[in-house]
Each structure stands twice: as C-alpha cells, then as structure tokens.
C-alpha cells in the first residue's frame, strides 16, 4: 500500500485524480496530515466514497505515543511506536526564536559511536520520508497551541541521516512545501558523523540546508577510539570535504564537540582543534557530555566547556556551549528508546 505521508502534495493530487477525484482533494489530504491526522476517517471534508478508496489503496504511516516525558524546562520527549513494532525518539523544544524539533532518521543506528545510546542495539531499519515528516506533524498537533507551529527542524535524533540519504532528501522536500509544513531550508539542520561522499551530495542537492558535523575529536587517534566511522574517513578527508562544502554553498558548517573528560578536553586538544578549523566558515558547538548507561565516558562539567569556548574564541574560532535541555527526561539521543528496550527484555 502507498504510504501517503511520503508523497509530495503534487503526488497526492495526482493520486486523487487517479482515484477519480479532483486534484484539489490532494491539498485537503495534505492539510489533514499537517494537523496530525492518523486515519482517513478523520478527513471529514472528503467524500465518504473517496475515503473508502483511500483506505483500500493507501495507508498513513502510524506513530503511536508509547511514552511522553515533559521536562521542567518545557522540553518534551516522545517515544513513538511504528507500525512494525520498532520505536523511535523525537524531542520538542521551545526557544525564543520559535519551536524546534529533533527527529530520528532511522530506527537504531549502525555507526557505533561510544558516547551515544542510539546505536547500542544496532540498526533495525531506515525510516521512510513519511515517518520522518510524521514526527513533525504529530508532535506539532500534540505540543503546539492555536497559532503555533514548529518552525525549526534538526535531523539529529536516532540514526545517521547520511546512511538514509535518499529518504532524508525527500523528507526535506516534503516539509519545505509551501502548502504543507512550509519549513524553510535555512531552518533545517542535518547532522552527520561524517560519511564524507554525502557532504558533496548535500552541497549539490540541499545547498541551503544547514550542515552539522559530529566531530568530537581533533585527530584520528582520538576519533577512531570513539567513532568507528573515522576508520573509513580520516579527519583530514572529513575537514577537506567540509571546506569544499562551505566554499560551494557559502554556508557555515557547525562542528559538534562533546566535551569528554580525559579524552578531548585538554588544552592541547583544543589548540589542535582550532588549528584544524582555522580559515573555514564554521562554528563549534560544545556539548557537555551527557553520560549514558553502560558508558565509561565522563563529562568534565559545564565550567570546563565554558573555558574551552573562551579558549577557542581567543584562537579565532567562534564557539558556544549548547544550552542543556531535557536532562531530567533522558533527552539525549537513544536514551529513552534504549530504556524501553531494556524493560521489554526483562
């Protein structure tokens, strides 16, 4: 059956005509999906006969709320169940500039970064464009009041977006549609651990979308110990690809750097990081590590992260320390999904 969430509006209009209805019915269906509709029965302005035809040939990829956690800072985290029994995570955050959402691109992850809970149980499967877009549609319906909307999207939840590149690319088209969610390219960020060839693809396919790199180390010796992807793509190759991206798109690259005690937080590491990035249109987002269960890594604390920020800026590299949101509700990638899996196996 056709997953109607994965179709662009023009494709839904074509489907409507193929099923014997006017094209404008496709726009009505899209409006319902944007409101978080989970069944054709909810689409009351469609003829009953048309809804019956849709039920026979199409489906709306399901997102069942398995758990919903609310932080004292307003952050909300969802564990959504998929139609096949897999579970994914979505985080809703409120900022001064608007409502933001962090979505998952895969059920699980095969990258194996040691500081991240997302890959502890490996990769189950890729998400469809509709399952990614559905996270925004359903969460917006649950979290936003009248006149509110989600305006910023980060693909930084469970999974590696570049490992599911074609579906992520269509997802970006889906949410950018003017008559759909209408989220501008410059309000979308895709984060990757560094699948180098896809950086050039993104520069060509989605030049206005923001690129974030999970770097977390200034050299191969450290990076290979915490991120297996570094065994395939060395730091020098990754940085060269980022420089090419910035030069081609004129867009700033954000480097995520999880500050980890005794691993990458020494003054020597920070000077090496500054040297590595010097001259590039970039920004470093310092993240005080959020430790996970079964992990041996520790955070040096926010104070040390602020010291590193000052040091980087003195060396000419723009940097900020990420505002910590949702720490009281397991808001780091994979933590809620992992805890759910642990309960299921008890």
Q: What CATH number is associated with residue 35?
A: 1.10.150.530
What stretches of the chain adopt beta strand conformation (E)?
Answer: 2-3, 58-59, 64-70, 76-81, 87-95, 98-103, 106-108, 123-126, 150-155, 188-192, 210-214, 253-259, 282-288, 319-321
Are residues 293 and 248 part of one domain? Answer: yes
Q: What is the pLDDT of residues 256-266, one digit of tens each?
A: 999 999 999 99
The SS3 assignment for 319 reads strand
292 or 143: which leads in pLDDT:
143
CB neighbourhood size of 296 (10 A) = 8
* pLDDT, mean of residues 247-257: 98
CB 263 within 8 A of CB 224: no
Residue 121's pLDDT is what?
85
Query: How many domains does the structure of the chain reveal?
Result: 2
pLDDT at residue number 343: 45
Cα–Cα distance, 241 to 228 (Å, whole number): 18
pLDDT beyond 60 at 301: yes
333 labelled catalytic: yes
Asked if residue 317 and residue 240 are part of one domain, the reply reads yes
Q: Exposed, middle or buried by CB within 10 Å (0-12, 13-18, 19+), for 104?
A: buried
**163 and 42, same domain (yes or no):** no
Kindly state whether residues 33 and 171 are assigned to the same domain: no
Please say whether the beta carbons of 41 and 16 come within 8 A: no
* 133: pLDDT strictly greater than 90: yes
Which one from 89, 160, 256, 307 is the annotated catalytic residue? 89
In the prediction, which pLDDT does 73 show? 87
Domain end position, chosen among 39, 59, 79: 59
Q: How many CA atoms lie within 13 A of 283 on its CB side?
A: 13
For the chain, percent of residues with pLDDT exceeding 70: 92
User: Is 178 annotated in the active site?
Assistant: no
First to last CA, the chain: 35
Catalytic residue selected from 109, 116, 242, 333: 333
| Residue 19 shares a structural domain with residue 100 | no
Which of 15, 41, 59 terminates a domain? The answer is 59
Is the pLDDT at 309 greater than 60? The verdict is yes
Give the lowest-confidence range in 120-124, 198-202, 225-229.
120-124
Q: What is the rounded average pLDDT for all residues in the chain?
A: 92
The DSSP code sequence of 244-275 is HHHHHH--PEEEEEEE-TTTT-SHHHHHHHHH
**26 shares its domain with 93:** no
Kindly indicate the confidence band of residue 115, based on its pLDDT and cuts at 50, 70 and 90: confident
Question: Which pLDDT does position 29 carry in this prediction?
Answer: 98
Q: Are 132 and 102 spatial neighbours (Cβ–Cβ below 8 Å)?
A: no
- pLDDT surpassing 70 at residue 340: no
Q: Kindly tell me if the per-residue pLDDT of 333 is higher than 90.
A: no
State which residues form the domain around 278: 64-345
Looking at the structure, do residues 51 and 72 belong to the same domain, yes or no? no
Whether residues 23 and 73 share a domain: the answer is no
Contact by Cβ (8 Å): 104, 135: yes
Q: Please say if the pLDDT value at position 324 is more than 80.
A: no
Return d(Cα 228, Cα 279) in angstroms, integer: 27
Q: Which residue(s) pair with 319 in the sheet? A: 284
Residue 344: which pLDDT band, with cuts at 50, 70 and 90? very low
Backbone dihedral angles phi then psi of residue 288, each to the nearest 5 degrees: -60, 120
On whether both 49 and 122 belong to a single domain, the answer is no
* pLDDT beyond 90 at 110: yes
Half-sphere exposure of 321 (CA within 13 A, CB side): 15
Is the pLDDT score of 122 beyond 80? Answer: yes
CB atoms within 10 A of CB 184: 14
- 25 lies in the same domain as 68: no
Which pLDDT value is given to residue 342? 43
- What's the rounded mean pLDDT across residues 54-58? 97
Is the pLDDT at 248 greater than 70? The verdict is: yes
Under the banding of pLDDT at 50, 70 and 90, the label for residue 294 is very low
Within 10 angstroms of residue 121's Cβ, the number of other Cβ atoms is: 16
């Amino acid at each position: 059956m056709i997953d109607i969430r994965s179709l662009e509006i023009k494709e839904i209009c074509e489907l409507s005509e193929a099923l014997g209805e006017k094209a404008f019915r496709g726009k009505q269906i899209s409006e319902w999906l944007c409101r978080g509709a989970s069944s054709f029965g909810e689409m009351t302005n469609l003829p009953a006969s048309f809804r019956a035809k849709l039920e026979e040939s199409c489906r709306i990829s399901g997102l069942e709320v398995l758990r919903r956690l609310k932080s004292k800072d307003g952050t909300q985290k969802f564990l959504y169940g998929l139609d096949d029994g897999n579970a994914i995570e979505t985080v809703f955050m409120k900022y001064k500039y608007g409502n933001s959402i962090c979505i998952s691109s895969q059920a699980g992850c095969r990258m194996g970064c040691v500081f991240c809970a997302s890959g502890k149980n490996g990769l189950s499967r890729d998400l469809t464009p509709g399952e990614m877009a559905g996270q925004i549609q359903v969460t917006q319906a649950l979290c936003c009041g009248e006149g509110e909307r989600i305006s910023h999207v980060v693909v930084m939840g469970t999974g590696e977006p570049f490992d599911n590149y074609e579906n992520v690319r269509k997802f970006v088209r889906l949410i950018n549609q003017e008559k759909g969610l209408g989220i501008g390219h410059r309000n979308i960020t895709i984060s990757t651990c560094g699948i180098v060839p896809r950086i050039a693809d993104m520069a060509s396919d989605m030049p206005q979308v923001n690129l974030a790199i999970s770097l977390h180390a200034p050299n191969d010796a450290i990076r290979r110990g915490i991120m297996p992807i570094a065994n395939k793509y060395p730091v020098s190759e990754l940085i060269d690809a980022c420089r090419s991206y910035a030069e081609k798109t004129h867009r700033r690259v954000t480097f995520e750097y999880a500050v980890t005690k005794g691993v990458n937080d020494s003054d020597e590491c920070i000077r090496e990081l500054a040297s590595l990035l010097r001259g590039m249109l970039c920004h470093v987002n310092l993240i005080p590590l959020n430790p996970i269960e079964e992990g041996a890594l520790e955070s040096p604390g926010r104070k040390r992260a602020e010291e590193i920020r000052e040091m980087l800026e003195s060396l000419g590299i723009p940097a900020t320390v990420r505002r910590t949101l949702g720490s009281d509700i397991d808001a780091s990638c994979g933590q809620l999904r992992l805890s759910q899996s642990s309960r299921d196996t008890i």
